Amino acid sequence: MKTISSLSLLLLFAACGPHHPAGPTVISLNYQQADIQKQFDTLYNYQQASPGVYKGFIEQALAICHGSGKDSVTQDVFSSMYLNLGSGQYDCVTTTVFRFPDGTITATGVFNLTPGDTIAPDHDFPITGGAAAYRNITGIYTRKYRNGVYHVELRYHSTNH
């Protein structure tokens, strides 16, 4: 009987021990300039800080993404870009929503852009939410631009227990 009690206690302690979470889920996507539809609007009624440099922009973009193994993946981007007169760069607050057939993943972050640059710098933004199949996730959205191709990685864990 002592053997069975000891074995039961051992199993109970093992079940209460630390759990090692599974590795993250990774979705890899890519797109090119031809996959992007853009719309820009100037803020402050077209007020310029200097020739060709506006005090702010709003950018909305839609990109058709490839490579996830899922059909019909789009990336919707909304950026507010305000000229920081101290640094001479735009402070860009960006929200990106990836739309998959089974739900959405949202990431939000900040980067700086030099007036005249047309491609945002590489960035890592925290995943701030998801819907449907991606509800209750946390992770990182990484975007890198290399040789005319935008490379995206969504690396996340489910927070469901």
CATH number of the domain enclosing 98: 2.40.480.10
Query: So what's the pLDDT on residue 22?
Result: 76
| Domain carrying residue 146 | 21-158
**Cβ atoms within 10 A of the Cβ of 14, count?**
8
pTM score, whole prediction: 0.81
Considering the domain boundaries, does residue 38 fall inside one?
A: yes
Nearest to 139 by CA among 23, 31, 30: 23
Considering the domain boundaries, does residue 85 fall inside one?
A: yes
Query: So what's the pLDDT on residue 161?
Result: 59
Q: What is the C-alpha to C-alpha distance for residues 126 and 139, in angstroms, rounded to an integer?
A: 6
Q: What is the C-alpha to C-alpha distance for residues 56 and 20, in angstroms, rounded to an integer?
A: 46
For residues 58 and 79, the answer to whether their CB atoms sit within 8 Å is yes
Query: So what's the pLDDT on residue 52?
Result: 80
Query: So what's the pLDDT on residue 54?
Result: 84
Considering the domain boundaries, does residue 6 fall inside one?
A: no
Considering the domain boundaries, does residue 3 fall inside one?
A: no
CA dihedral 66, 67, 72, 77 (to 10 degrees): -50
Considering the domain boundaries, does residue 2 fall inside one?
A: no
Q: How many distinct structural domains can be found in the chain?
A: 1
**Which parts of the chain register pLDDT below 50?**
3, 5-15, 17-18, 20
Query: So what's the pLDDT on residue 67?
Result: 85
Query: So what's the pLDDT on residue 70?
Result: 63
Query: So what's the pLDDT on residue 21?
Result: 58
Query: So what's the pLDDT on residue 51?
Result: 84
Tokens representing 158 are 């489910």
Considering the domain boundaries, does residue 12 fall inside one?
A: no
